[in-house]
Structure 1
Amino acid sequence: MNTQTAVPPPMDGRDPSNLRGDKITGDRYFSDEFAQKEWDHMWTKIWHIAGRTADIPEAGDFLVHNFMKESVIAVRQEDGSVRAFYNSCAHRGMRMVDDSSSVDAFHCPYHGWRYGLDGKLIHAQDADVDFSQGNPCGKIGLNELRCDTWGGFVWYSMDPDGVSLADFLEPMPALYRNYPMDTAVRVAWYRIEINANWKFVTDNFSESYHTRTAHPQVPPWIDQDVDSARHEMWSKGHGRTVQPMRPSLSDRPEGGGNAMFEAELAKWDIDPAKYESYEEFAMQGWKDLKAAKQKLWREKGYVHYEKMDDEEITDSPHTVMFPNVTISFLPDNLVFFRSEPHATDPEKCYFDLWCMAFPVEGQTEVESIMAGRKPLKEVAECEHRVFDGGRGIPELAGQIVYQDMELAENMQAGMHSRGYTDAYLSDQETRIRFFHEVLNDWIEGRRP
């Protein structure tokens, strides 16, 4: 994918004057009619992530992405490119494959039709003697979709006439060009069913106003105070909160001190005891950390810092890509979140969590941020779970994403209340309403 290098200036994500003021009514979280509009006018038009390019390194390796009632195959070609096809036999619609794997050709399990990696039919039983309309081989094939790659991900679109991936994602590829995303190692991989509409997840990741209440473990290492983080949004619905990775001065650890930030400073040869006050420890320590990382990254094996700037090596731009993908760009980790609607029930969704880490020389384990300490190696399979009040993922208890999912069901229930008619938002939640306004544009035929 060709990417531009210029990043257009963002809108202020804390300025409600950038909004029309569209109401966020409860019915959009549970209405079958609204969910159908999303399918008809948005889901079938946008670009989706099928999976990671790292999962299909060789010709014949393929991904299967099931979305609602649709299924798509993305397969590596002999020339190294990736092509995507509907997972539906051209004979009578049978799904060809169930799970990602590797093949020399795709075989339909019903009548044995066989397709090459390029989707063309190469074998059909009785092809020359039993088709009055002529031998189907070489004439028909799997129905192809548009496919492209960016960020170490394989993307596809069901819309043959829609915008390119570069246009859809703009300005994200240019904004994150310094991160070697395709080198990241996926150390945790979950798909979790929760009893909430998919939009709860995008809403949740479009603001950090809830952090102080829901995630008390965050302020000691990420400063999300109202005047510390930078809120940005772009016309196509993408947005981010740029958060300094330093201790909050508003929410200090009980008993004084800050073991987490002290350890980070010490790792980069900075004496945390040299600061005379907590304010100096947090603010000057953060500046000293930038300088130390820029000086020592190669010596300490942090080769992924090579092109990253001061902000990127010490901060966290928590980024939402319209409509349903969120990536936390941490200095040493990428955390991928995605919500996808249930096929038939708008009050359920699937929450994907992929914790990825940049390899560092000498490291064998990493702190995955959202899933705890993990070996620095690719996990082989996705953990499919049902949240079930937390009982389905006990190993994630106390993690940030677990705390978010704990909130989801009661938030969903609240959307049914007669007492709720619209959100009363703080300025730092401006991006929530902006997300819904861009969604309204899509379902009403006004693509951004």
Structure 2
Amino acid sequence: MQDEKPGRLVDEGPRIADIDFTGYRMRVPTDRYRSRAYAEREREALWLRVWQVAGRCDDIPEAGDWLEYRLFDQSWIVVRGRDGAIRGFVNACRHRGNAFCQGRGHAARFTCPYHNWSYGLDGKLLAVARPDFDGSLEDFVGAKEDLGLIPMPVATFAGFVFLNPDRDAAPLADFLGEARELLAPYHIEEMIPCGLNVRESIGCNWKVVMDAFQEGYHIQGVHPELVAAMDESRERYRFCGDHSVATAPFGASNLGASSLADQIAAIHGLPATFPAVADCLPRFDELVESCRRPDGTMPPAPEIPLRALLQQAMRESWQAKGLDVGGLTGNQLSDNHFWILFPNLFLTIHAGEGTLIMAFPSEDGDPNRCTWHVQTLQWVPPDRRAALRTPLTTVPEGEHFAYFLALEQDYEQMQHQQRGLRNMAQPFLTLTRQEVRLAHYHASIASWVEGPGAH
């Protein structure tokens, strides 16, 4: 039954009119975006303590595949072992601290090029060069068992590899909480980067990126071509600890007064936003045609449940392809769900496809710059994934990747915002009720950086 599916918690979540705002502070201090001192506090209290995405599991599909994850001046290795398990280690040799991995690659073992100490994929010290030169290793530096690579907390969920720089961190499952249950039915672990997979430097604070994708209020000004497709008045919300999700029915009220033909045409226009929807449109048209009366006429538009018919067609289409959509509600099939996995992962998701945006602080700590990573994710049958997987494009400093229209508009606007935020005379941002997720998000940041109870 639909009401047994986890997604019902979002389907039945409160709208803006139902939310009690008395607990929210609707002003955000602007020094959080421009202050090096605040950026340093974020580094120590947030980034070096929180679970964060280091990559995708399919970035390291085979035993011996590894990637480097860098944050500020810190560097770690994430590697798939011979037993299939993914592990994380500090990227530093236990002899003299040499960093021996950069980028990504494949190895049967890790060998430090400085003095040729070598380590297994499980991090254990295997051998040292010239062990006979100074006698027994144990006589001088201790047992080999104590000189393996330093392990780091690593866990996986939804095809993502999470790493926590805090070696005493609570488990990832505890950190994600309810978000795990709500996201699991999408089977994101079976999706691949397909069409867009880009990392690029951008001239704004990392939180400007995260803020931009937590509200639809800016659509009227930045994305006027999307106004007809979005109805923020019917958004529903769910807050899951530091994480949150919002969803709005596609064109719910914007198209309600339109003719049947116009509403059907709008649904046929969906593939511009949801490419996989095109595959279900023939079945959708059949279902609409089945509503025709015995005399050959069509009922009035309000009597034809177009959303339900679209959802049925999508469910049948995905099931025919091989994607298990049995755990998704109808709304999770047809509507975008806008997720924030704290602190820096934004995910627009619906059945079979999504868009991922992550923002990372600048490596040199400059609060006015960050790196963002944009991926479009799509479910394709297993036998086609290798051929269709889009490799990562890293944009050289000073160059720019041309995104699709809406994303290009966001890229430009976020840099305009940062220029304004650098003005020292403006002490705070003022949020509206439509930006309740930003209020929640910044309360979470404050609780990490400034302590419990801070906003």
TM-based fold match above 0.5: yes
2: CA distance, partners of 1:174 / 1:143: 32
| 2:380 aligns with one of 329, 341, 359 | 359
**Which residue pairs with 2:306 in the alignment?**
285
TM alignment of 1:233-312, pairs within 5 A: 233-234=239-240, 236-246=241-251, 249=254, 259=265, 261-262=267-268, 264=278, 266-270=281-285, 280=302, 284-295=305-316, 297-298=318-319, 300-301=320-321, 303-312=323-332
1 CA distance for matches of 2:311 and 2:373? 32
> Offset of 1:438 from its aligned partner?
0.9
Helix, strand or coil: the match of 1:402?
Answer: helix
CA contact under 8 A between 2:73 and 2:363: conserved in structure 1? yes
TM norm structure 2: 0.83
From 131, 143, 149, the equivalent of 2:150 is 143
Corresponding residue for 1:383? 393
TM-superposed deviation, 1:24: 0.9
The amino acid of 1:239's aligned partner reads: S
- Distance of 2:211 and 2:33 partners within structure 1: 11
- Out of 367, 374, 389, the residue aligned to residue 346 of structure 1 is 367
| Separation in structure 2 between the aligned mates of residue 377 and residue 248 of structure 1, nearest angstrom | 37
Question: How is 1:208-247 mapped onto 2 (pairs within 5 angstroms)?
Answer: 208-220=216-228, 222=229, 224-234=230-240, 236-246=241-251
- Shift in CA distance, 245/133, structure 1 to aligned 2, threshold 3 Å: same
Residue of 18, 27, 45 corresponding to 2:49: 45
- Mapped to 2, the partners of 1:161 and 1:68 lie a distance apart of 20
Partner of 2:437: 431
Output the CA distance in 2 between the equivalents of 1:317 and 1:292. 19
User: In the TM superposition, what is the alpha-carbon distance from 1:7 to its structure 2 partner?
Assistant: 8.8
Q: Give 1:199 deviation, angstroms.
A: 0.2
Q: Which amino acid aligns with 1:33?
A: A
Amino acid at match of 2:282: K
TM-score, normalising length from structure 1? 0.84
- Report deviation, 1:261: 1.6
Q: Deviations over 1:123-178 (max 9, x none)?
A: 22223433662466443021111111111011111112222101111111101121
Q: CA deviation at 1:26?
A: 1.5
In 1, the alpha carbon distance for the partners of 2:357 and 2:299 equals 37
Q: Deviations over 1:346-379 (max 9, x none)?
A: 11000101111011699x89xxxxxxxxx97112
How many Å separate the matches in 1 of 2:301 and 2:450? Answer: 50
Q: What is the deviation of 1:230? A: 1.1
Deviations 1:80-114 (A, max 9, x none): 21110011111222111112111110111222111
Give structure 1 stretches of 5+ with no counterpart.
Answer: 366-374
Cα distance 1:278–1:444, how it changes in 2: closer, same or farther (>3 A)?
farther
Over the aligned positions, Cα root-mean-square deviation in angstroms equals 3.3
1:209 offset after TM fit, Å?
A: 1.1
For the residue of structure 1 that corresponds to 2:27, the secondary structure is coil
How many angstroms apart in 2 are the aligned matches of 1:438 and 1:137? 42
Q: Indicate the residue corresponding to 1:56 in structure 2.
A: 60
Once the two structures are superposed, the pairs formed by residues 365-404 of structure 1 within 5 Å of their partners are 377-379=388-390, 381-385=391-395, 392-394=400-402, 396-398=403-405, 400-404=406-410
Identity %: 25
**Partner secondary structure for residue 226 of structure 2:** coil
Q: Counterpart in 1 of 2:78?
A: 74
Give the Cα separation in 2 of the matches to 1:417 and 1:193: 22
**1:158 matches 2:179:** no
Measured in 1, the distance between the counterparts of 2:301 and 2:415 equals 39
Give the number of the structure whose residues are more often helix, by fraction: 2
State the AA in 2 paired with 1:245: F
Q: Secondary structure at the match of 1:89?
A: coil
Q: Does 1:177 align with 2:184?
A: yes
Q: Which shows bigger deviation, 257-266 or 75-84?
A: 257-266
Q: Does structure 1 retain, via aligned residues, the 8 Å contact 2:154–2:163?
A: yes
Contact 1:13 1:430 in 2 (8 A): no
Q: Are 1:337 and 2:357 counterparts?
A: yes
- Alignment of 1:416 with 2:422, yes or no, is yes
Q: What is the alpha-carbon distance in structure 1 between the residues aligned to residue 311 and residue 15 of structure 2?
A: 26
**Residues 1:196 and 2:222 are matched in the alignment:** no
CA distance in 2, matches of 1:196, 1:278: 50
Aligned to 1:442: 448
The question of 1:115 aligning with 2:119 is answered: yes
Quick check: 1:246–1:261 contact (8 Å CA) kept in 2? Answer: no
Compared CA separation, residues 347 and 296, structure 1 to 2 (3 A): closer
Secondary structure at the aligned position of 1:154 is classed as: strand
Deviation string, structure 1 residues 357-413 (Cα, Å, up to 9, x no partner)? 011699x89xxxxxxxxx97112x32112686xx6113x252x22211111111001
- Say whether residues 1:322 and 2:342 are aligned partners: yes
Structure 2 CA distance for aligned equivalents of residues 323 and 377 of structure 1? 30
Number of residue pairs aligned between Structure 1 and Structure 2: 423
Shift of residue 322, structure 1, vs aligned partner: 0.9
- Give the partner amino acid of 2:284: D
- 1:258 Cα offset (Å): 7.1
Deviation for aligned residue 1:316: 1.0
Q: Per the alignment, in what secondary structure is the counterpart of residue 91 of structure 1?
A: coil
Summarize deviations over 1:256-307 as a string: whole Å, max 9, x none. Answer: 67755225573333267989799749x8322221233345543x42524243
